[in-house]
Homo-oligomer: A and B are copies of this chain.
Amino acid sequence: MENRGKRGRYIVIKKRTDLAAEARELWRESAGETTELSGVEARTSSESGFAVETVKILDERGEAALGKPKGTYISIDLDPLMKREEGAFARAAAVVADKLRGLLKLKEGESVLVCGLGNSAITPDNIGPGAVKNTLATRHLVAAMPEDFAAFRPVAVLEAGVLGTTGVESAEIVRAVAEKVAPAAVIAVDALASRRMARICRTLQISDTGIVPGSGVGNARSELSENTLGVPVISVGVPTVVDAGTLAADLMEQAGIGESSSADFAQFGGSMVVTPREIDSQVDECARLIGYGINMALHELTVEDIAMLV
């Protein structure tokens, strides 16, 4: 499972997770607290009651150590939301909006394409489709009634589907539509995979490195990034499952037992996941949060405004 080998002069990690903060945590566990993690900067803060961790991967060493491309990864701990603290939804949406704005760096009037990735018929994969259902499309309104919608940015919204039901890579569909729409930036929303149960529906990650749809769950499709789309791609996601085989292997490893003990899991490889019993409502909540955060980042809107508009 894990590999403490060397690549050049530095320790690298092979444990697969979509979350940079978790990759850093795993690296620390494997390398030991005293080893320095070069090429990576991290800091934590508290914003409107939410713990925020920002991991910056600065160079090749950081990329190799954490197994992710250079860039900024911001993770927001959703615990206050899931505990239903007073006003938590509005505060969380404001934090998401603030972080998105920071990475998007849009000028006034620049347009955005928001893409939901994932299969809406599979509950834990419904983060992307659910988020775009909560995202306001304004491109046509701004074009048709520019004065009435002067306060709005042109936003196009796409549910990109999945290969299994469309026969077309979702990245290919996003590229096709982006070419027509010519946005200044793309926001791509997808479910993520983590290795820790404590993260499921509890961590929201925003990054400026784009997204490789499905990469976290074993069926890598093609890349969505500035490389492939020609404009910045900001990704937003929440982990909704831990692969059951991975979890079992991790447990065995923690218990000091080799891989053979988890042979029973081989037959379920990739087909079984660990997920909250209340996954349906938690995915809905996270998807709504992302949609609202995007709307608030792109337009001057409050949570109440959006509730009236979507």
Contact = CB atoms under 8 A, between A and B. Distances in A.
Interface of A: 84, 89, 121-124, 133, 137-141, 154-159, 161, 163-169, 172-173, 175-177, 179-181, 197-198, 200, 217, 241, 244, 247-248, 251-252, 254-255, 257, 261-262, 267-268, 270-281, 308
Given A156-B168, A172-B180, A252-B251, A274 B273 contact: yes
22 contacts: A122-B278, A122-B279, A122-B280, A122-B281, A123-B279, A133-B165, A137-B163, A137-B167, A140-B167, A141-B167, A157-B166, A158-B161, A172-B180, A197-B244, A198-B267, A241-B277, A251-B262, A257-B257, A271-B278, A272-B275, A272-B276, A273-B277
Copies of this chain, tallied across the complex: 4
Nearest to A258: B255
A299 to B, nearest CB: 13
A308 B181 CA distance: 37
Contact of A167 (B121, B139, B281): B139
Contacts of A139: 167-168
Contacts of A158: 161, 166, 168, 173
Nearest to A125: B277
B159 A167 contact: no
Contacts of A124: 277
A261 B274 CA distance: 18
A261 B255 CA distance: 7
Given A156-B167, A173-B177, A121 B280 contact: yes
Contacts of A267: 198
A277 B272 contact: yes
Nearest to A168: B156
A241 to B, nearest CB: 7
A73 to B, nearest CB: 25
B159 A159 contact: yes
Contacts of A89: 308
A124 B273 CA distance: 13
A281 B133 CA distance: 14
B179 A167 contact: no
Contacts of A168: 137, 139-140, 156, 158, 177, 180-181
Contacts of A197: 244, 268, 272
Given A122-B278, A122-B280, A272-B274, 14 more contacts: A84-B308, A121-B281, A137-B168, A139-B167, A140-B167, A156-B168, A159-B159, A168-B180, A175-B180, A176-B179, A217-B277, A244-B274, A272-B275, A273-B274
Contact of A255 (B176, B255, B281): B255
Contacts of A165: 133, 137, 157
